[in-house]
Amino acid sequence: MEIPEIGVAELAELLAGDIALIDVREPDEYVGARVPGAVHIPLAAIPERASELPDRHLYMICGVGGRSLKAAEYLAARGWSCTNVAGGTNGWVEAGYPFDSGPAVD
């Protein structure tokens, strides 16, 4: 199954709107740096927490794009519409975009 991909520059444009961005990295990575507004669901937890995902298009992000692609493939096979963010959070930070860090505040 072919999963569409976007880069961090396109993600930055999309964040001006209301998108569902899912960060599938491990908790320590998420606390270290994350794209503002990203919802954290680690890759290993996607199957058991899929019911928490919004019923709309999902943008998946990880460190560089590999784990988020796996999550997108898993979800797309189960009916979700997903786009992978190539370059991931590392690419986001390296490009100089603003990021959050520390524990997430709900």
pLDDT for res 65: 96
pLDDT for res 1: 76
* Residue 101 near residue 32, CB atoms below 8 Å: yes
Tell me what percent of the residues of the chain surpass a pLDDT of 90.
Answer: 95
CATH architecture of 5-94: 3-Layer(aba) Sandwich (3.40)
Which residue, chain included where needed, has tokens 């298009």?
57
- Tens-place pLDDT, residues 16-40: 999 999 999 999 999 999 999 999 9
pLDDT for res 50: 95
- Which residue numbers are catalytic? 62
Burial class (CB in 10 A: 0-12, 13-18, 19+), 27: exposed
pLDDT for res 106: 52
pLDDT for res 104: 77
